[in-house]
């Protein structure tokens, strides 16, 4: 029951925002009346929920909602709108083709990932084709005449803070302590967003970090309280100085300071060799983490996690 119609949709070769626009058009609604929890890959076969706000209105006639690019699998009424971030996880099944190399080496890499996790990089898709979202972010920060829609502006700001995060994570990896808390570290419980600061390292903290139940974090830059101290703080401040155009731009646009775990735990990752050159992967990721960040730790693919310098 309720004034929101939830639709579970299977799609391919189209992005989430485009599907939302089509649903709005075919149902005779404003674009703002259609919502979803998160973006899904354009090229993959993906399944996700959308919600349509239909107060006092009947369900749309189903034939009017059919499209060759997506298929409605299920529908139900609900009392609440589906909001961004309103999901527990994303499940992936990926088929890697044309693999060359040692199968045993790949098996070992996946076992290492199961036991130790992977760096929680933002994927290249965050930055747009050719890094264009970062170019627009720089334009937003430097040109007061530049105008963008609220949605596009959010994308550009997110790209800038993601670039800072990736740079901090890369610096921590270079220091050899991206997955090990240091004194003054701001950590998160696995699957939680709240942070707590490590005042002193003891056996319990080290044991919990090794068990993947707590993770060191890095900054999602903006205004607000700054948590870390010591070497963790210094690395972040060094990167902030290098990318000051981004940090100052984010602060001037009143982005709220937040933190993100530097590690993804993948205790249930599974793989199966379909043939000598083809491997099927299955794993689950928390909201906001990228499957490409997992793949880059298993195979050498054309997905380089670079930071565009201002």
Q: Which residues are catalytic?
A: 41
The Cα–Cα gap between 182 and 197 comes to 10
And the tokens for 194? Answer: 């709240």
Counting Cβ atoms within 10 Å, is residue 199 exposed (0-12), middle (13-18) or buried (19+)?
exposed
What lies within 8 Å, CB to CB, of 249 at 6+ separation is 137, 138, 140, 141, 160
Nearest Cα to 45, choosing from 88, 85, 14? Answer: 14
SS3 sequence of 235-273? HHHHHHHHCHHHHHHHHHCCCECEEEECEECCCCCEEEE
Q: Is the distance from CB of 279 to CB of 272 less than 8 angstroms?
A: yes
Question: Which helix (DSSP H) or strand (DSSP E) does residue 295 occupy?
Answer: helix 291-295
Whether the Cβ atoms of residue 119 and residue 173 lie closer than 8 Å to each other: yes
Collapsed DSSP state (helix, strand, coil) of residue 228: coil
Q: How far is CA 180 from the centre of its chain?
A: 22
Q: Which residues contact 213 (CB under 8 A, 6 or more apart)?
A: 189, 190
In the chain, what are the helix, strand and coil shares in percent, each to the nearest 5?
35, 25, 40
């Amino acid at each position: 029951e309720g004034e929101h119609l939830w639709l579970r949709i299977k799609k391919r070769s189209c992005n989430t925002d485009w599907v939302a626009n089509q649903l709005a058009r075919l149902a005779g609604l404003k674009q703002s009346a259609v919502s979803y929890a998160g973006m899904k890959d354009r090229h993959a076969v993906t399944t996700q929920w959308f919600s349509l706000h239909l107060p006092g209105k009947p369900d749309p006639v189903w034939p009017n909602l059919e499209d060759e690019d997506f298929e409605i699998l299920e529908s139900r009424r609900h009392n609440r709108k589906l909001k961004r971030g309103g999901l527990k996880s994303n499940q992936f099944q990926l088929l890697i083709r044309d693999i060359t190399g040692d199968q045993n080496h790949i098996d070992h890499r996946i076992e290492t990932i199961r036991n130790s996790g992977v760096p929680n990089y933002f994927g290249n898709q965050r930055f747009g084709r050719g890094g264009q979202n970062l170019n627009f972010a720089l334009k937003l920060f430097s040109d007061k005449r530049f105008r963008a829609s609220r949605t596009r502006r959010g994308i550009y700001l997110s790209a800038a803070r993601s670039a800072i995060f990736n740079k901090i994570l890369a610096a921590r990896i270079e220091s050899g302590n991206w997955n090990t808390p240091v004194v003054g570290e701001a950590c998160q419980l696995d699957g939680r967003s709240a942070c707590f600061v490590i005042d002193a390292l003891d056996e319990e903290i080290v044991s919990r970090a090794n068990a993947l139940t707590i993770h060191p974090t890095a900054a999602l830059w903006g205004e607000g309280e700054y948590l870390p101290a010591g070497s963790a703080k210094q690395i972040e401040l060094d990167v902030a100085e290098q990318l000051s155009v981004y940090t100052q731009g984010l602060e001037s646009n009143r982005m709220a300071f937040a933190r993100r775990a530097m590690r993804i735990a993948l205790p249930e990752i599974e793989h199966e060799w379909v043939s000598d050159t083809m491997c099927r992967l299955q794993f689950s990721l928390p909201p906001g983490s990228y499957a490409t960040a997992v793949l880059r730790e298993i195979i050498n693919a054309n997905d380089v996690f670079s930071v565009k310098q201002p």
